[in-house]
Structure 1
């Protein structure tokens, strides 16, 4: 989800000024060849440009979440599968930019790709909200890839929609998917659940480590 996820009603702003001070870990220090496609650090996202706070295409997570993700990745590799990460820790300033974007009804450039069946006014709420679980450092967005022999030639599996597709078809158990697409979503959910990650049912790509390592906190240090 671009903006929100279930969590505390009144998160506590964190005073940390750097990722290291916040306890955020670059996942590539644990899995150097982790596949990354950090959309908000570039132009390939629903806003159409780099998002405030994303100064580098990195995946940062609190230590326990990063370690759990490493275990998921290592388990999948035993079956010639791998993860591809779209987003991890998200600075609070990025969430504020999403809210501003959603309120700008004159900007409809990304509607055909990201919300073709919704009026932009409907995005505020279930899809985009002023507080995001991503800003607590234990939530991430990702997909599953099938790899060839030896772990090479990895290609994303068909999940039925793209990442950040604002539509009921993106619900993890949407009936508007093929049996193969549904099976791929459930395979991802099973692998993540095995290491303690909980899926957000409205988005097949969205997972949070449960229990969260720092549930009252809300971080705003930039990714760099």
Structure 2
């Protein structure tokens, strides 16, 4: 019996969908099942370099494995797109560069256990207790910086923010910038670069935190907990 072109088309589409589904990492499948979205599907101009999918992080090893895309709750991804739109309208040569977004709780434990020499109070400044869950675990927080669209090498180049991502210390504290400027530990240019990021993120509806210039919340933890489930 000859197959009609319609039957062949339907089979081809189903086969392509099945292949793409199984090609996705399991953690991405879980995130999508919970309704999270790839931020680059919402705004393709947003740059992504998940630091915990590399060894360039405070743990010194790949924590995320095959997760290399940034996922967030749809409302948070839309806010990020608004921040990106504002940034490009006021600084056409700059782009948001995402370092971390939705984070599985299993990875949260890895980060928490990587700081055994700090007191629990100090640890909580930098890594949320996995038993309570980070706002990252709900897909409502993002770590990021601002980068030039094209640097000297042709690739995007992050602006100088005074410290690296995941720097544990006062130099990274937004709350101490004026004091650090007076002490000569931060330059005005570095603070101005941080302000570019903060202004764009606030315009998108995000809230900064006291201890990390790179971290922004789309919702409080209490509201995220009421609205969403933790990504496991």
Task: Give the secondary-structure state (helix, strand or coil) at the position aligned to 1:215.
Answer: helix
Select 1:86's aligned residue among 81, 99, 124: 99
SS in 1 for 2:108: helix
The answer to whether residue 225 in structure 2 is matched with residue 215 in structure 1 is yes
Distance 1:22 1:101 in 2: 28
Q: How many residue pairs are counted as aligned between the two chains?
A: 187
Question: How much has 1:195 moved relative to structure 2?
Answer: 1.5
Is the partner of 2:225 in helix, strand or coil? coil
Distance 1:99 1:208 in 2: 19
- Structure 2, unmatched stretches of 5+, are 1-28, 181-185
- Between Structure 1 and Structure 2, the one with more helix by share is 2
Matched, 1:99 2:112: yes
Higher relative contact order (CA 8 A, sep 6+): 1
CA distance in 1, matches of 2:59, 2:81: 30
Alpha-carbon distance between aligned partners in 1 of 2:65 and 2:84, rounded to the nearest angstrom: 24
**Cα-Cα RMSD:** 2.3
Question: What stretches of structure 1 of length at least 5 have no aligned partner?
Answer: 1-16, 106-119
Alignment of 1:9-48 (within 5 A): 18-48=30-60
Provide the C-alpha distance between the structure 2 equivalents of 1:201 and 1:34, rounded to a whole number of angstroms. Answer: 25
Tell me, yes or no, if structure 1 residue 205 matches structure 2 residue 214: yes
Which of 162, 165, 185 lines up with 2:194 in the alignment?
Answer: 185
Counterpart of 1:139?
A: 141
